[in-house]
Amino acid sequence: MYLYVLFYILALISFGELAKFRIKDNPNFYKVAYWGVVCVIIFLSTFRWENGTDWSSYYEYYIQVGVSPESGYLEFGYTWLCFINYQLVNGSYTFHLGIMALLCILPVAKRIKQYSPFPFFSLFIWFCVIFAHLFPVRQTIAISLFVFSWKYIIERKWYFYLVTIIIATTFHYTALITLPIYFLWKKYIPAKYIMCAIAIVFVMAVTTSHLFSNLLFIFGGDFFESKLSYYMDQSNETFGMIYSPIQVMIRGCVNRSFYFFIPLFLLNARRKNDYCLNAFFNMYLYSFILFLITVPLSVALARLTVFTDMAQIMLLPYIFTMRMNRGTVYIIVSLLIIYFFIRFNGIVMNYYDVYIPYKFCFFR
Size (the chain), residues = 364
- Per-residue pLDDT in tens (0 to 9) along the chain, 364 residues: 899 999 999 999 999 999 988 887 788 899 999 999 999 999 999 999 999 988 999 999 999 999 888 888 999 999 999 999 999 998 899 999 999 999 999 999 999 999 999 999 999 999 999 999 999 999 999 999 999 999 999 999 999 999 999 999 999 999 999 999 999 998 999 999 999 998 888 887 777 655 555 555 555 555 555 555 555 454 444 444 455 566 677 778 888 888 888 888 989 989 988 888 999 999 999 999 988 888 777 777 778 899 999 999 999 999 999 988 889 999 999 999 999 999 899 889 888 888 988 999 887 7
Number of H helices, E strands in the chain: 17, 0
Task: Name the burial class of residue 147, with classes exposed (0-12), middle (13-18) and buried (19+) by CB atoms within 10 angstroms of its CB.
Answer: buried
Beta strand extents in the chain (DSSP E only): none
Residue 360's DSSP bridge partners are 48
Please give the C-alpha separations between residue 94 and each of 90, 113, 302, in angstroms, as whole numbers. Answer: 11, 27, 30
Contact by Cβ (8 Å): 95, 82: no
pLDDT at 40: 97
Contact by Cβ (8 Å): 133, 144: yes
Handedness of CA 217, 168, 125, 311 (dihedral sign): negative
pTM over 0.85: yes
Nearest to 57 by CA among 130, 134, 137: 137
Contact by Cβ (8 Å): 135, 6: no
How do the residues of the chain divide into helix, strand and coil, expressed in percent and rounded to 5?
A: 75, 0, 25
pLDDT at 240: 46
Distance from C-alpha of 209 to C-alpha of 233, rounded to nearest angstrom: 14
Amino acid occupying residue 256: R
Q: Cα torsion at 264, 267, 273, 277 (round to 10°)?
A: -60
For residue 63, the tally of other CB atoms under 10 A from its CB is 13
Residues sharing a CB contact under 8 Å with residue 347, sequence separation 6 or more, in sequence order: 128, 129, 131
Structural domain boundaries in the chain: 1-175, 180-322
Please give the C-alpha separations between residue 241 and each of 238, 287, 314, in angstroms, as whole numbers. Answer: 5, 21, 27
pLDDT at 222: 53
pLDDT at 228: 54
Task: Name the burial class of residue 28, with classes exposed (0-12), middle (13-18) and buried (19+) by CB atoms within 10 angstroms of its CB.
Answer: exposed
Residues sharing a CB contact under 8 Å with residue 76, sequence separation 6 or more, in sequence order: 170
Q: Cα torsion at 28, 29, 35, 40 (round to 10°)?
A: 160
